[in-house]
Structure 1
Amino acid sequence: MSSELFHGLAVLSFVILLLIMLLRKIRQPYFIAYILSGVLLGPQVCNIVNEAEVISQLGEMGIVLLMFFIGSEIRLPDLTRAFARPLFIASVQVAVSLACMWGIGTYLEWSTTMTVLMGFIISLSSSAIVFQYLSRTGEMNSQLGLITSGVLLIQDILVVPMVVCLNFMAAGNVSAVDLAKVCAGGMLILLLLRAVSVRRPSLPFKRDIIADHDLQVFLGFAICFGMAWVTAWLGLSAALGAFVAGIVIGKDKATRWLGKALIPFRVFFLAFFFIAVGLQLDLPFFRDNVGTIVFVALSVLLINSLLNAMLFRLAGNSWRDSLYGGALLSQIGEFSFVLMTLAVSLGLVGNYLYQVTLAVITLTMLLSSFWITVMQRLIYRLPLPEKTTFS
């Protein structure tokens, strides 16, 4: 068993390394290498890595760590000032997505459950991809970066009522206790953020922590995963809890060591999330339905780009920023996997729709970098907007 484990990890590491070196030369994001390695080494091709469920759980840890890091980099006052625009964009986007799916579902004679599920899925963008992109380009705290981050944060929050809605459609009712926990969790997070915005938190034993690397690592884990566990128990997203924990920690300048201490763990576990995506892709199904999958994926990228661009523009952004923001949010995100997996477990959809959705989500992720590049070339032809800065 140990030999098989080391063999799988060794081959996986070498394949990822080779793909990253190739992608580095053509200036493409590394998550593409993780997805492709999952496809190549999965049961459909080489059958070297086949523990999709275990790897998926490791990948969820990567998402939690990513949101923790992003939270620590966010400037809460700037995000608060720009919060009205993200709230408008995210709310209208979900409403319009549901309306579009209702029209398509009526034409195709979908059930109400199918229509609502598809509306939820296409309305969620990838926090992992967009946050990594903004961090790499240094745009996290720009006006557009703050608005885009706000939209993604609100989408992550909206996942909670979406999950409740799917459970209600499957069972016909939702526990009053669960609803009370969700409401209590939301209120606690709001109160915590309010307290942090008024008074900067301070960790005890700062000198001991700064001088001890092991203590830094496990304190960071305790804060990140502890908050994630609390919000998950309350019925909220674990990633949301990690994001809030990151905001709280990021307010104290003495905690800058957290970034350096936990970066290797974030890279390692986040890679497993995208590897799990590749492992779950059914290649024979993809080959048999490639026309449908490609058409739907390109349609989603185009529609999401245009819809989000219009909403960014209505929220007062320039056309350059609006088209850019629309491109950033064009792909379908990781929480859509969560919703589809939940729908399958509840018996709301069958295997065909699950495989089509999985393939479409994966393809939009793979094409997102190329799509952003195409939209940027269009943006360069538009006049520059007046610069807006945050103090």
Structure 2
Amino acid sequence: MQDDPILFTIFLVFSGAALLATVALFARQALLIAYILLGALFGPWGFGFVDDPAVVKEIADIGIIFLLFLLGLDLKPQELLNLLRKTTLVTLGSSLLFFVIGFSVAWLFGFSWVESLVVGGTMTFSSTIIGLKLLPTTVLHHQRTGEIIISILLLQDLLAIVMLLLLEGRGVDLASAGGRFILLLLALPVLILGSWLVARFLLVPLIRRFSQIKEYVFLLAIGWCLGMAELAGGVGLSREIGAFSAGVALATSPIALYIAESLRPLRDFFLILFFFSLGAGVNLEKLPDLLLPALLLATILMLVKPWAFRRLLERTGEDRERSGEIGWRLGQLSEFSLLIAVLALDLGQIGDRASYLIQLTTLFTFLVSTYLVVMRFYTPIAISDRLRRD
């Protein structure tokens, strides 16, 4: 039955997801929560049906790449620049506050100062995949909301890359680490400019000439998205930033809407795998020891994050209703928090307790924040017909 482990894993994920999603719908719960719980049940710390969640995670990361590509298709370059200027202070101010909270709680529970620094750093990010998966895209109010969320998340991604560099640079001479950082700062504008030039003078003419052959447009879009993602990864940036740049470069093309609609089912396929892999990575044996600090940290952050984002956005001129909604939609931790927790542990910068504290806190915020958003705001996967928008 398991001669083909990948096929067997896919069977388990989607058959189990279909069953548990049915239960979740009757219980009026968010489907994302069902996928995470399914991963915990089937993963190595549950029934052990999937003993290597890393394989699923590697496949599922493609879903995040497609998600950022599709978001870029909806955001014009000039709008992006205007929003980044507006949200820089919001992002930096909120990140500093969340860092202090994370550091203080970790230090209070006896973690070393290095571990407390890492814990604090991972608290500064919000989830790209949850924040945007739950956001309607076809309602004018939410188009503006989405643009603000995207700009904040993009700046947070840059901060996450800096933190990854700092972790990898510990024990490396200062000149080398500084040189890598300068190269990355130069690589980002070059990547954006290069993607725009290629899109304008090569991709758009090709699309215009062969636009009637939908299969060709579909393949070209996937190749462009994944190619830019790999290029960004090759120069030290995140693949997600490369995919986002690829989408923004095509945003002014008249075919952008068709590409976005074509890739959505493919994106959803991989995103289910992503949330399953999150649940499968939970070490249930560590839960009793870290339950109290993880719950405390998650609770404080989910109370403070919406308030902080609302106050800071109001200061930039956004209205109170939209600012409050954005705050709740960004009230969780991030996939980057999980990535940094695992990387820091692998590099020996933190112990397994600190790593699992970050992971458990992140998953707690995923579960609760998703539930709050689905039950209170318009989303494509709302249980209530009144709140369902796409």
Q: Identify the residue that residue 331 of structure 1 maps to in structure 2.
A: 332
Q: Distance in 1 between matches of 2:302 and 2:201?
A: 41
Q: Which moved more, 1:249-258 or 1:34-43?
A: 249-258
Change (3 A) 1:111 1:283: closer
Q: Deviations over 1:145-181 (max 9, x none)?
A: 2212210111112222111122233545444653343
Q: Identify the residue that residue 380 of structure 1 maps to in structure 2.
A: none
**AA of the residue aligned to 2:80:** L
Q: Distance in 2 between matches of 1:209 and 1:85?
A: 39
**AA of the residue aligned to 1:167:** E
Q: Which moved more, 1:18-27 or 1:266-275?
A: 18-27
Q: Distance in 2 between matches of 1:263 and 1:145?
A: 17
Are 1:266 and 2:270 an aligned pair? no
Q: Distance in 1 between matches of 2:112 and 2:186?
A: 33
Change (3 A) 1:103 1:24: closer
Alpha-carbon shift at residue 355 of structure 1 (Å): 1.4
Q: Distance in 1 between matches of 2:304 and 2:133?
A: 23
Alpha-carbon shift at residue 24 of structure 1 (Å): 3.7
Q: Identify the residue that residue 61 of structure 1 maps to in structure 2.
A: 62
Identify unmatched segments of 5+ residues in structure 2. 379-390
So what's the TM-score if we normalise by structure 2?
Answer: 0.86
Q: Contact 1:41/1:47 (CA < 8 Å) preserved in 2?
A: yes
Q: Identify the residue that residue 281 of structure 1 maps to in structure 2.
A: 282
Q: Distance in 2 between matches of 1:109 and 1:288?
A: 13
**AA of the residue aligned to 1:184:** L
| Aligned residue runs from structure 1 range 289-304, under 5 A | 289-304=290-305
Q: Identify the residue that residue 184 of structure 2 maps to in structure 1.
A: 182
Q: Deviations over 1:200-259 (max 9, x none)?
A: 986233356433344233212210111111111111111011001011122101243322
Q: Deviations over 1:58-80 (max 9, x none)?
A: 12111111100111122333333
Q: Identify the residue that residue 366 of structure 2 maps to in structure 1.
A: 365
Q: Contact 1:74/1:140 (CA < 8 Å) preserved in 2?
A: no
| Aligned residue runs from structure 1 range 40-79, under 5 A | 40-79=41-80
Same amino acid, percent of matched pairs: 23
Q: Identify the residue that residue 387 of structure 2 maps to in structure 1.
A: none
| Aligned residue runs from structure 1 range 139-158, under 5 A | 142-158=143-159
Q: Identify the residue that residue 252 of structure 1 maps to in structure 2.
A: 253
**AA of the residue aligned to 1:359:** L
Alpha-carbon shift at residue 349 of structure 1 (Å): 0.8
Q: Contact 2:56/2:277 (CA < 8 Å) preserved in 1?
A: yes
**AA of the residue aligned to 2:351:** G
**AA of the residue aligned to 1:232:** G
Q: Contact 2:298/2:361 (CA < 8 Å) preserved in 1?
A: yes
Change (3 A) 1:8 1:208: same
Q: Identify the residue that residue 131 of structure 1 maps to in structure 2.
A: 132
How many pairs does the alignment contain? 376
So what's the TM-score if we normalise by structure 1?
Answer: 0.86
Q: Contact 1:94/1:119 (CA < 8 Å) preserved in 2?
A: no
Q: Distance in 1 between matches of 2:219 and 2:179?
A: 33
Change (3 A) 1:192 1:26: farther
Alpha-carbon shift at residue 112 of structure 1 (Å): 4.0
Alpha-carbon shift at residue 21 of structure 1 (Å): 2.6
| Aligned residue runs from structure 1 range 2-17, under 5 A | 2=3, 4-17=5-18
Identify unmatched segments of 5+ residues in structure 1. 378-391
**AA of the residue aligned to 1:217:** F
Q: Identify the residue that residue 389 of structure 1 maps to in structure 2.
A: none
Q: Secondary structure at the match of 2:255?
A: helix
Q: Identify the residue that residue 350 of structure 1 maps to in structure 2.
A: 351
Q: Contact 1:62/1:270 (CA < 8 Å) preserved in 2?
A: yes
CA RMSD of aligned residues (A): 2.9
Q: Identify the residue that residue 231 of structure 2 maps to in structure 1.
A: 230
Q: Contact 1:64/1:238 (CA < 8 Å) preserved in 2?
A: yes
